Amino acid sequence: MADLSIDFCGIQSPNPFWLASAPPTDKAYNVVRAFEAGWGGVVWKTLGEDPPAVNVSSRYSAIHGKDREVIGFNNIELITDRSLEINLREIAQVKRAWPDRALIVSMMLPCEEAPWREILPLVEATGADGIELNFGCPHGMPERGMGAAVGQQPDLIELVTRWCKTYTRLPVIVKLTPNITDVRAPARAALAGGADAVSLINTINSITHLDLDRMVAYPVVGGASTHGGYCGAAVKPIALNMVAEIARDPLTARLPISGIGGIGNWRDAAEFIALGAGSVQVCTAAMLHGFRIVEEMQDGLARWMDSKGYPNIAAFSRKAVPNTTDWKYLDMNYRVIAHIDQDQCIKCGKCHIACEDTSHQAVAKLVTAGPRGEGRRYEVIEEECVGCNLCEITCPVEGCISMVPQPADKPYMNWTQDPRNPRAVAVADEA
């Protein structure tokens, strides 16, 4: 069986599955239940100064798909509303009882040196394995210069990270906000400040939906609402892209990454690891389905690794990074054409409608005669097909439509070399 244990910037963990800093990690009771279920580590819900934060009611909203499946989750909850003393005592108790599990403490303090200097030794004294700097919370407490107010300013990220590296011997993980134009800038700043790793993504600014009778967004607090932090399955594509951007940036390519955002099963975790993550953090899936989902995550990941011949996490970590590039370096001469498996086709016509109305008119609707009268048949017009994948995506039958690579009759050529590019020479020089 594959070895799932990891060494993440010096932090040992029996598996890469950690609970992210959130309501599931707000107290010892929850964390102990998580460890009993098999989680390799937790990031304790964000600590702050006393007096603790005060939360409102209600706090969550969601976007639902078919059969009430939660696609996206939104929250306006702040950092822990329990005192610093209680949190520190429970962290120490849990770490003593579970020495083999990773226990990282999330922290959010004003952008002033003194509070960090005072609290970091207290956190270190608990026996915790590391700290995570919450530079990503998109709502609440901006008046204190915390959360995304810091994470959107690389100079402040570097400054606070350097303070932390000065006042603690623990590994420092910087949690990055996605509410920014280019995530590479804050990652570079964290590295410049001495960060041992980064984690991302934190939640995305969002308003999920409105009550159109009361004309107020959810979650409703009295008669008003506010933007919150969006997470869950819907944010996974954004998170994967940002993780990959840091992993393939020459300046941060060796910086350890803890991947966060929409991870709900072993396959999600494997994708994050293949794109650069050394550990993965889960929140929404655990809140929706409970802590025992980690059992399937571990089993599924180990079985997949065995089937691929990967003995440990390091064997496939970052393996997809070299295959992730800028658009301008993609092969302009590569071509695929859609193919419809007529034995699997249910004649719904979705591929034809999508292609006919919104794409390249490359799926023909044919009326056929048969013993039971007229029937329908859909075929790809190969000379019109550009291989865009739309028909495959709209088809309700998995595997019915496939994208078939065509024989290569021309060598590799990217856009910087393409004679159709009026700036080909200039672009090639820039590259």
DSSP for 351-386 reads HHHHHHHHS---EEEEEEEETTEEEEEEEE-TTT--
**Are 37 and 65 within 8 A, CB to CB?**
no
Structural domain includes residue 422: no
Cα–Cα distance measured from residue 134 to residue 53, given in angstroms and rounded to the nearest whole number: 15
Tell me if 68 is assigned to some domain.
yes
Query: For residue 105, what are the CA distances in angstroms to 205, 306, 350?
Result: 24, 33, 50
For the chain, how many structural domains are there in total? 2
Q: Looking at the structure, do residues 374 and 281 belong to the same domain, yes or no?
A: no
Residue 118 located in a structural domain:
yes
Whether 288 has a pLDDT exceeding 50, the answer reads yes
Crossing angle for the helix pair 293-308 and 28-37, to the nearest 10 degrees: 40
Phi, psi for residue 356 in degrees, rounded to 5: -70, -45
Residue 52 lies in a domain: yes
The CATH number of residue 351's host domain is: 3.30.70.20
Question: Using 50, 70 and 90 to split pLDDT, how confident is the model at 88?
Answer: very high
**425 domain-assigned:** no
Q: How far is the C-alpha of 385 from the C-alpha of 158, rounded, in Å?
A: 50
Mean pLDDT within 198-209:
96
Rg of the chain taking only CA atoms, in angstroms = 25
Strand order in the sheet with 228-231: 60-64, 70-75, 228-231, 204-206
**One domain for residues 73 and 158:** yes
Predicted pLDDT of residue 143: 45
Residue 427 pLDDT more than 90? no
- Taking residues 409-431, what's their average pLDDT? 83
Is residue 161, in this structure, part of any structural domain at all? yes
Q: Where residue 373 falls among pLDDT bands split at 50, 70, 90?
A: low
107 and 119 Cβ atoms separated by less than 8 Å: yes
Q: What are the residue numbers of the active site?
A: 137
Return d(Cα 168, Cα 263) in angstroms, integer. 30
DSSP run (H or E) holding 62: strand 60-64
* pLDDT given for residue 389 in this prediction: 97
Same domain? For 187 and 236 the reply is yes
Average pLDDT of the residues in 179-190 = 96
Same domain, 291 and 234: yes
Does residue 255 share a domain with residue 226?
yes
Domain's final residue, options 302, 323, 344: 323
Last-in-domain residue among 301, 323, 345: 323
User: β-strand 401-405 against 204-206: which pairing, if any?
Assistant: unpaired
Tell me what percent of the residues of the chain surpass a pLDDT of 90: 90
- Residue pLDDT, tens place only, 30-58: 999 999 999 999 999 999 999 999 999 99
Total residue count of the chain as it appears in this document: 431
Lowest mean per-residue pLDDT among 144-153, 197-206, 208-217, 343-352: 144-153
Give the domain extent around 197. 6-323
- Per-residue pLDDT, averaged over 393-415, amounts to 96
- Could you tell me if 107 and 132 are in contact, meaning their C-beta atoms sit under 8 angstroms apart? yes
Give the sign of the dihedral formed by CA 227, CA 110, CA 22, CA 279: positive
345 lies in the same domain as 314 = no
Among 10-14, 115-119, 141-145, the range scoring the smallest mean pLDDT is 141-145
- Looking up tokens 């072993």 gives 266
Q: What is the mean pLDDT of the chain?
A: 94
Integer CA distances (angstroms), 175 to 43, 69, 156, in order: 11, 28, 13
Q: How far apart are CA 300 and CA 297, in angstroms?
A: 5
Do 127 and 264 have their domain in common?
A: yes
Q: Same structural domain for residues 223 and 259?
A: yes
CA–CA distance, 240 with 72 (Å, rounded to integer): 16
Residue 152 maps to a domain: yes
**Choice between 148 and 154, residue whose per-residue pLDDT is larger:** 154
Domain end marker among 276, 308, 323: 323
- Non-local (6+) Cβ contacts of 212 within 8 A are none
d(CA 335, CA 382): 11
State percent of the chain over pLDDT 70. 94
Q: Which of 54-58, 91-95, 294-298, 336-340 has the lowest mean pLDDT?
A: 54-58
Residue 293 clears pLDDT 50, i.e. is over it: yes
* Residue-wise pLDDT tens digits, 309-346: 999 999 999 999 999 999 999 999 999 999 999 999 99
Helix, coil or strand: residue 138: coil
Residues 310 and 370 in one domain: no
The predicted-structure confidence for 241-273, as pLDDT tens digits, reads as follows: 999 999 999 999 999 999 999 999 999 999 999
Burial 257-266 (b: 16+ CB within 10 A, else e): bbbbbbbbeb
19 and 68 both lie in a single domain: yes
C-alpha distances (whole Å) from 399 to each of 44, 78, 191, 385 are 42, 44, 44, 18
Task: With cut-offs at 50, 70 and 90, classify the pLDDT of residue 430.
Answer: low
Residue 394 within any structural domain of the chain: yes
Residues 145 and 274 in one domain: yes
Q: What is the CATH number of the domain that holds 59?
A: 3.20.20.70
User: How many Å apart are CA 145 and CA 276, to the nearest integer?
Assistant: 30
Chain centre distance of CA 362: 35
Q: What is the mean pLDDT of residues 389-398?
A: 98
Q: How many angstroms separate the CA atoms of 328 and 159, rounded? A: 36
d(CA 279, CA 243): 12
**Residues 277 and 161 grouped into a single domain:** yes
- Concatenated DSSP letters for 51-106? SPP---S--EEEEE-GGG-EEEEEE---S--S-HHHHHHHHHHHHHH-TTSEEEEE
Rounded-to-integer distance, Cα 198 and Cα 196, Å = 7
